[in-house]
Amino acid sequence: MSNKAKEGIAETVRTVAWALVIAGVFRTLFFQPFWIPSGSMKDTLLIGDFLFVNKMAYGYSRYSCPLALCPIPGRILASEPQRGDVVVFRHPTTGADFIKRLVGLPGDKVQVKDGILYLNDTMVPQRDGGTFEEVFEPQGSQKSLPRCQNAPVGLGGTCINERKIETLPNGVEHAVLNTDMNQADNTPAFTVPAGNYFFMGDNRDNSMDSRFSQDVGGVGYLPAEYLIGRADRIMFSSAGRSLFFFWTWRSDRFFKAVE
């Protein structure tokens, strides 16, 4: 092999190495890509939404790096998340990345009664938001079927769920869905410990969140060190089995703000 060919190969290797380093730094410090695999945040986030997580929002912990490899004790450059933020975090026991809405801050008393959220013994108001309708069909790579208030629904039929607009104490408004009454619609009162947060999915009857303990697959109280970042904007959304099926992208969700 000629010296010129060897130099060309070496230059290619250096270029690829630097590209990987830059991509790793960008992912660790600034924005992490995230694809929505489940329906726990409908209709705020749909299965197939692709977004970037703002990792500067809350500072950094060891979970800011892939495989939790950052040698960071606690959090650095920390900022407090706000009630109503849609947050990506690392699950303390499974190691999976979750996305839910922050509803309870440290010291808050959180309870759900008859499907209504109460914070510090005050009912969080809801107003009518119409209905959320979708096709009853397998969704995403997991091919999961949606739950419907008007069940049973045949494949290809219209799945309907009641939609409410909830207003949190700081004025943040967001949609929540209700399918039926179940154990998650009536909970004990939870008091959020210092340094921890309480999360719920907007699809209230289809979310394993802080209402459930970690030993049954829920989140429980989440320590601050597991926060990864805030979801601010959807880049694009695929209604197909893969985000690469561009012909299934939803035209109304390009660069849509997460509210």
- The catalytic residue positions are 40, 100
Report the number of secondary-structure helices (H) and strands (E) in the chain: 1, 15
Overall domain count for the chain:
1
The residue range of the domain holding 99 is 3-257
Q: Specify the CATH number for the domain of residue 181.
A: 2.10.109.10
Cα–Cα distance measured from residue 126 to residue 139, given in angstroms and rounded to the nearest whole number: 28
| Sign of the alpha-carbon torsion through 63, 64, 66, 69 | negative
pLDDT in tens, 143-181: 999 999 999 999 999 999 999 999 999 999 999 999 999
Band (1; pLDDT cuts 50, 70, 90): low
The CA-CA-CA angle for residues 256, 80, 55, to 5°, reads: 50
Min mean pLDDT across 11-15, 65-69, 96-100, 245-249 is at 11-15
Mean pLDDT, residues 84-102 taken together: 95
The closest of 90, 95, 106, 104 to 229, measured between CA atoms, is 90
Strand locations in the chain (E):
31-35, 49-54, 86-90, 97-104, 109-113, 116-119, 122-123, 126-135, 158-167, 173-178, 190-191, 196-200, 222-223, 227-237, 256-257
Q: Residue 10 CA to chain centroid, in angstroms? A: 41
State the average pLDDT over residues 59-77. 78
Grade residue 30 by pLDDT with cuts at 50, 70 and 90. low
Encoding tokens for residue 211? Answer: 């209402």
Neighbouring residues of 161: CB distance < 8 A, sequence distance ≥ 6: 42, 131, 132, 147, 148, 149, 177, 178, 179
